[in-house]
Amino acid sequence: MPGAVEAAGAGAAGSTDVGRLVAPTRTFLATSAVAVAPRLLNLLLVSGSRVGRIVEVEAYRGTEDPASHAFGGPTPRNATMFGPAGHLYVYFTYGMHWCANVVCGPPGVAEAVLVRALAPVAGLEEMWEARAAARRERDLCSGPAKLCQALGIDRAYDGLDLLSPSSPVRLLDDGTPPPRRPSVGPRIGISRAVEARWRWWVTNSASVSVGGR
């Protein structure tokens, strides 16, 4: 863990000053997912010694959003989404993949931000071991299920508090600001509410899930 923090700093090559690592505030996350999502870009997702920088996200607006798992109300599966902000919502999909979300909004409001891609920062060897199918470094975490595989995130981590120092998975800020003007477009892989442009990504990041851009 101390290794991960140090590596995270060292991995931020290119940035001239690396701030110390701090978690975003719960108050910040307790607002709307659409407002929070683009501001999660460039934060770090840390799992043990494995660290990735968030480069692509999507917002899901709970019970009001036909594409959200929370549309239609609470179920055992989406329970975490209805809880407090800053917790990790992990779901299973396509019979074989796990995906990770940062819960947003006040308790009772099921908003969330799906983390779609990370740029690998530290713990690359472990990521390569966890992702035998990956051929290039940029494919290690270039998709919502790929990043869960790379960081070892599965059902066991559903509901954990990303802001707690004792959590196995944490959300941290190393001082790198979000892009002033991120790229924006429609969400991927959904069949309803396809018109909403609630996907944001770091322009030109090689680790973004599709096309790049």
Partner DNA sequence: CTTTGGATCGTCT
Partner DNA sequence: GACGATCCAAAGG
What is the binding site for DNA (CB under 7 A)? 58, 60, 67-70, 72, 75-78, 81, 89, 91-97, 99, 101, 112, 114, 131, 133-134, 139, 143-147, 149, 187-191, 209, 211
Residue closer to DNA (CB basis): 42 or 207: 207
Residue closer to DNA (CB basis): 49 or 207: 207
Tokens of residue 199, six digits: 């996907």
User: Cβ of residue 2: shortest distance to DNA, in angstroms?
Assistant: 30
Residue closer to DNA (CB basis): 8 or 115: 115
Report which of 106, 100, 68 is spatially closest to residue 84, judged by C-alpha positions.
Answer: 106
User: Cβ of residue 132: shortest distance to DNA, in angstroms?
Assistant: 8
32, 38 contact by CB (below 8 A) = no
Q: Write a three-state SS string for 124-162.
A: HHHHHHHCCCCCCHHHCCCCHHHHHHHHCCCHHHCCCEC
Residue closer to DNA (CB basis): 19 or 186: 186
User: Cβ of residue 118: shortest distance to DNA, in angstroms?
Assistant: 11
> Cα(first)–Cα(last) distance of the chain, in Å?
33
Tokens of residue 212, six digits: 């790049």
